[in-house]
Amino acid sequence: MTSSTTNTDLARLLQAFFCQRLMQQRQASSRTVSSYRDAFRLLLRFAEAHAGKPVSRLSLSDLKASLILAFLDNLETQRHNTVRSRNARLAAIRAFLHYAAAEEPTALPVIQQVLAIPMKRFDRPLVGFLSRVEMEAILQAPDSHTWSGQRDRILLTTLYNTGARVSEIITVRRMDLEREHGRALHLHGKGRKERVVPLWKRTSRLLRDWLPRIGPEPQQPLFPNRYNQPMTRSGVASRLREAAHAAAVSCHSLNDKCVSPHTVRHTTAMHLLQAGVDITVIALWLGHESVVTTHQYLEADLKMKEHALAALQPPTVATVRFKPSTGLLAFLDSL
């Protein structure tokens, strides 16, 4: 097989993988397609330098396990990606090679070596969340006398109420708010999953008062920026940081905390858990695919552990002073 043919095969397989497998057959979300696209942009540019030939001449056989391992190492050491990001890039490569294996069986030896590369394990940090006092201070921080301040207060209240991901909150439209009483919000979640989250009376009232301040069209962003376009992820994060900084003047414990939209999501989950809401309901509330993901909040709640410890009566076991045996082997035999 000539180099031009193998190059055509690689280009054809990549295009078919994105257009047919991801978009048509799997109907992957735009975020998934973008994530996979970015992974292959990085991989092909790395392979170009590593293999010593332009992308136009790269073949499927160039994607050897040694190259993929070097690429993954480069992501962590040179680009300073986290292990999660490294594993996400590897997942995209694996998905493509599973597809390529069915289309090009002759490339199986190379493909199988790459598929044998394991995901890297990593320590999962404890969930960071805010206290009720800290969260309330942040919600009260935006200046309600300005248009942007009103938007920020309602945005952060809705974010806290729903536990929405930042990607979900920036895509909310006017039509996603329940029309009659505004007591629920329709969220378009991760992986094309949709859910309806109930709203507190406070949130519902704020949103009803906010609607006259934005456009009447059903597709109108519920939380627009100054140009009447949906806010960006960085825009929401920036406004939240500004509110947290202002709230830290009166709530000093916020000075030592890094507050992000995902921190607010964790806070919602923890406060629901502390209020006695069943973990399966919290999983539905947050849009978790598996309750295993939600279980991390049980692990993080020290107060609940302390209550459980206080309710548990310690066993009455007599303390026996240790007396070493006369011989090391006798001691080992007694174990």
C-alpha span between 281 and 294 (Å, rounded): 10
* Separation between Cα atoms, residue 21 and residue 288, nearest integer Å: 25
| 177 and 57 within one domain | no
Please indicate, yes or no, if residue 331 is contained in any of the structural domains.
Answer: no
Residue 157 inside a domain? The answer is yes
Asked whether residue 233 falls in the same domain as residue 153, the answer is yes
- Tokens (6 digits) for 144: 């309600």
Residues 6 or more apart in contact with residue 276 via CB below 8 angstroms: none
Query: Across residues 225-253, what is the average pLDDT?
Result: 95
Element (H, E) at 207: helix 201-210
Beta-bridged to residue 195, according to DSSP, are: 187
Cβ atoms of residues 272 and 129 within 8 Å: no
In a shared domain, residues 209 and 291:
yes
**Residues 167 and 110 grouped into a single domain:** no
Query: Considering the domain boundaries, does residue 329 fall inside one?
Result: no
Q: Which of 107, 92, 108, 124 is nearest to 295 (CA)?
A: 124
**Looking at residue 254, what DSSP letter applies?**
G
Average pLDDT over residues 108-124: 89
Whether 303 contacts 274, CB under 8 Å: yes
Residue 305 pLDDT more than 60? no
The C-alpha atoms of residue 154 and residue 202 are separated, in whole angstroms, by 10
Cα(270)–Cα(284) distance, rounded to whole angstroms? 14
H-assigned helices in the chain: 3-16, 30-51, 65-77, 83-103, 108-115, 132-140, 147-162, 166-169, 201-210, 233-247, 261-274, 279-286, 291-294, 296-300, 302-311, 328-334
Instruction: Note whether 143 and 289 are same-domain residues.
Output: yes
Strand blocks (E) in the chain: 184-188, 194-198
Could you tell me if residue 317 is inside a domain? Answer: no
Residue 149 or 125, more confident? 149
CA atoms within 13 A on the CB side of 11: 11
Residues 153 and 284 grouped into a single domain: yes
CA distances from 172 to 136, 159, 180, 199 (A): 23, 11, 17, 14
Residue 322 has pLDDT above 50, yes or no: yes
Query: Cβ contacts of residue 275 below 8 Å, gap of 6+?
Result: none
Same structural domain, 108 and 153: no
pLDDT tens track for 59-95: 999 999 999 999 999 999 999 999 989 999 999 999 9
**pLDDT at residue number 83:** 93
pLDDT value of residue 68: 96
What whole-number percentage of the chain has pLDDT above 90? 63
- Six-digit token pair at 215? 């456009």
Q: Which two tokens stand for residue 24?
A: 């048509």
**pLDDT band for position 319 (cuts 50, 70, 90):** low
Which residues are identified as catalytic? Answer: 165, 190, 262, 265, 288, 297
Range of the domain at 199: 132-311
| pLDDT per residue as tens digits for the range 240-293 | 999 999 999 999 999 989 999 999 999 998 899 888 888 888 888 888 876 656
**Cα–Cα distance between 213 and 219 in angstroms, integer?**
15
Assigned domain for 335 exists: no
156 is a domain residue: yes
Domain-embedded: residue 272: yes
Instruction: Find the CATH number of the domain harbouring 285.
Output: 1.10.443.10
Is the overall model pTM greater than 0.75, yes or no? no
Instruction: Report how far residue 150's alpha carbon sits from residue 164's, in angstroms, rounded to the nearest whole number.
Output: 19
Among candidate residues 97, 112, 124, 129, the one with its CA nearest the CA of residue 17: 97
In terms of average pLDDT, the best of 120-134, 146-160, 172-186 is 146-160
